[in-house]
Amino acid sequence: MTTTTTATPTTLQDCRALDAQDPLRSLRAHFTLPADTVYLDGNSLGVLPTATAARVADVVAREWGQDLIRSWNTASWFDLPQRLGDQLAPWIGAGKGEVVCTDSTSINLYKVLSAALNIAREASPARRRIVSERSNFPTDLYIAEGLCKERGLELVLVEPEDIPSALTADVAVLMLTHVNYRTGAMHDMAATTAAAHAAGILTVWDLAHSAGAVPVDLQGAGADFSIGCGYKYLNGGPGAPAFVWVNPRHAGRFWQPLSGWWGHAAPFRFTPDYQPAAGIGRYLCGTQPIISLSALQCGLDVFDAAVPLGGMPALRAKSLALTDLFIRMVEERCAGHGLGLATPRDHARRGSQVCLTRTEGAYAIVQALIARKVIGDFRQGDGGTGPHLDILRFGFTPLYIGFEDVWNAVEHLRQVLETGEWRRPEFNQTNAVT
């Protein structure tokens, strides 16, 4: 890992001073964090909001237990997907009535990718390809592969630098994740969307590693479709409902393929034929998971609390400061231990995570850190043509991560590397979830 700075080494006292000056420091109180734990895995599973347990208990005990089926009306269960969509919309550059929170990321991708293919191929049947990044998140590639097999189309996977040349006249859809899950590299959504549109291609953007962490402007970028999950930076809990956004110019054009009763124009008329709801409502499917949606609402409420403290500009500024500091301190204090940097240094190309690389022992190093209550995660090398580089992945959620956390994380990493602690047998036993 090449050192690029000659700055004076940062001390623990320096980091504590930065935390004292942090305009977002009060937001940490909105979360339940285990004592003495540095949690750098919010890009995989967000932290529990303090309000969630009581809210879920109230939904179970009172709204369900006492009010029973009446709560669909009295507690407004019925329109909860739309209300949460409206609450999320400003954080992804969407308008009111353009987003619903529902289902999983994979299911929602199937819906929007199907609709995008219908629209693109209606305009030009010769468009028989979906283009995506080779290192895109696997579920996105699996869903696209399945649709291609079903429809006799072709999925083309390219390196990020080859995307412009892959936008040819036979491509129907460009499907990308805005922030790469392996490296933290962020695409220029506006420029990439404009290039796709210039070639007559529709865009589908996965915001799983963006929503709540980096600035997103779907409307401003002119994007066509977008999906994302609720359990990472949005802190909705394990398996939290995901979300769907469809540009209004497309929302009313095609049925999405999972034409369930909740996406009907009038579900409780119980007509035998499907009549799709107007706009984004048709991207709902079956009866909604109210308990899970209620937990997600608690995560979104914290973002409301962030608005008077500076909103997304303040969150982004802190995220970049945290990741800058982490990169610099790793270079200063862990030099000579075979670590590389996969994450872009350029702020415009960096998400809210830092991914370090190593040819040996990356998994065991992460496990040794977890035993020390510094929680990140591991991703295996992608099998490309270059040297095999596994990834130590660290997410920085500015809602609850502070600068002292960065200092502590790097100090533990230094100790794990210098002592060879990671070589211990218990840290080299692979768990089911890495």
pLDDT per position as a tens digit, 164-177: 999 999 999 999 99
Q: Report, as an integer, the average pLDDT of 297-316.
A: 98
Tokens matching residue 289: 């998971």
217 is catalytic: no
Predicted pLDDT at 4:
45
The answer to whether the CB of 355 falls within 8 A of the CB of 342 is yes
Q: Annotated catalytic, 346?
A: no
Q: Which of 232, 318, 328, 350 is labelled catalytic?
A: 232
pLDDT at 5: 44
Q: What are phi and psi of 164, to 5 degrees?
A: -55, -40
Q: How many whole angstroms separate alpha carbon 3 and alpha carbon 345?
A: 12
Q: Is 137 marked active-site?
A: yes
Per residue in 370-387, pLDDT (tens digit) is 999 999 999 987 655 456
Q: Is the confidence at residue 1, as pLDDT, over 80?
A: no
Q: What is the rounded average pLDDT of the residues 185-195? A: 98
**Per-residue model confidence (pLDDT) at position 10:** 84
Q: Beta partners for 394?
A: 354
How many C-beta atoms surround the C-beta of residue 157 within 10 A?
16
- pLDDT of 383: 54
| 223 contacts: CB under 8 Å, gap ≥ 6 | 189, 193, 203, 205, 247
What's the chain's average pLDDT? 95
Which of 86, 206, 390, 405 is catalytic? The answer is 206
Tell me, yes or no, if 232 is annotated catalytic. yes
Is 80:111 a contact under the CB 8 Å cutoff? no
Catalytic residue among 31, 39, 110, 137: 137
Q: Which of 216, 137, 206, 212 is nearest to 178 (CA)?
A: 206
145 alpha carbon, distance to own chain's centre:
21
pLDDT, position 8:
63
pLDDT of 431: 87
> H or E element: which one contains 357?
strand 353-358
Of residues 67, 102, 61, 59, the one with CA closest to residue 294: 59
Mean pLDDT (whole number) for 113-119? 97
- Structure letter (DSSP) for residue 251: H
31, 110, 181, 231: which one is catalytic? 231
What does pTM read for this prediction? 0.95
Q: How many CB atoms lie within 10 A of CB 69?
A: 9
* Percent above pLDDT 90 for the chain: 92
**Catalytic residue (one of 181, 372, 393, 405):** 393
Kindly tell me if the per-residue pLDDT of 89 is higher than 90: yes
Active site residue 110: no
DSSP alpha helix (H) spans, 260-392: 290-306, 311-333, 362-371
